[in-house]
Amino acid sequence: MNNRAALIRRSANQLVLMGVALNATLAVIKVLSGIWGNSNALIADGLESAMDIFSSFLIWGALLYAGRPPDEQHPYGHGKLESLAALTGAIFLLVAGAALALSSGSEIFNQWFRDAAPRELPRPWTLGVLVLVIGTKEVLYRLLIRHADSIGSNAIRAEAWHHRSDAITSLAAFIGISIALIGGKSWASADNWAALFSCVLIVRNGVSMLMRSVGEVIDEQVSPEILSRMQTVAAEVRGVTGFEKIRVRKSGTDLIADLHVRVSGDLSVHEGHRIAHAVKDALIAGDFQLADVTVHIEPDAQPPTENHVI
């Protein structure tokens, strides 16, 4: 990992910890505001923030451990822990979205089909609490997503989307409470309908992150664009005549590549070894954030000679 990526990772770790502290504070504020302000949406939102604390701690710990260099027991490094953290974060996001959808759907069902009495309207000042929450969470999302894009970390991206999902649910609560306050008790379920809509966005992003994380865990091939760029760089090395195979997998924020490059079949072992090192050095020096490169030399097919022994 280069120095810039290490600095960005360190900064992202600090932001994750800041998010933990803010989640704890906002969870208390939202739950108490929901109780005093007669808003079930705020109480549910606060409980979701409390659950996010555990998820954030898992991601923070995994990010710290994933940054360790390779050792004897882990020669490929510890980057897969970051992929597992992203997987965990995506699952938490899906669970939070499903739980919110279940809670909102249950209240709608009770009011529509069981003629449950409309609950008391929320207090107007709860809207101010939600504005504070939405602004804080959106700022955290934007800071973390910028770091995630800079170093290619799905774990940090999952943590960023936890904050964005919190902002979405808070926005849904704001819209629902506003409609309820304007329309009266007959519109008391408006916040539940708004919450259901927000759940669609949360679950959609959770599924997307889950698929990306699973791809990293099972060593999915990187994008064709990255493969093409690597082949271009390697082909410029003197002595390389072609490629037989190229495999690149993601490990945390870094990539690990295995290449089979073709060279002239009549080269000496020393010359083939030099070409392999030159290919590796060229790729490491490129803008690929490669942790390691293994280069295997494949000789071009040579026509048999009189002295060829089968």
pLDDT at residue 153 in the model = 75
**What is the residue extent of each domain of the chain?**
3-217, 224-299
146 touches 160 (CB < 8 A): no
pLDDT at residue 117 in the model = 57
Closest by CA position to 121, among listed 42, 184, 51: 184
Per-residue pLDDT band at 308 (split at 50, 70, 90): very low
Residue 258: is it exposed, middle or buried by C-beta count within 10 angstroms (0-12/13-18/19+)? middle
Mean pLDDT (whole number) for 197-223: 82
Helix (H) or strand (E) holding 270: helix 269-285
Fold exhibited by the domain 224-299: Alpha-Beta Plaits (3.30.70)
Alpha carbon 300 to its chain centroid, in Å, reads: 42
pTM: 0.66
Q: Which DSSP state fits 122?
A: P
Rg (CA), the chain: 27
Closest by CA position to 282, among listed 257, 308, 263, 304: 257
pLDDT at 132 over 80: yes
Per-residue pLDDT band at 147 (split at 50, 70, 90): confident
The model's pLDDT over 248-259, given as tens digits with 9 standing for 90+, comes to 998 877 888 999
Alpha carbon 96 to its chain centroid, in Å, reads: 16
pLDDT at residue 274 in the model = 93
The model's pLDDT over 99-114, given as tens digits with 9 standing for 90+, comes to 878 877 887 777 676 6
Per the structure block, which two tokens stand in for 87? Answer: 């997987």
Give the residue, 117 or 11, on which the prediction is more confident. 11
Q: 109: which residues sit within 8 A by CB, 6+ positions away?
A: none
SS3 state of residue 299? strand
pLDDT at 309 over 70: no
CATH superfamily of 3-217: Cation efflux protein transmembrane domain (1.20.1510.10)
Looking only at the bridges linking them, the beta strands covering 242-251 and 254-263 are antiparallel
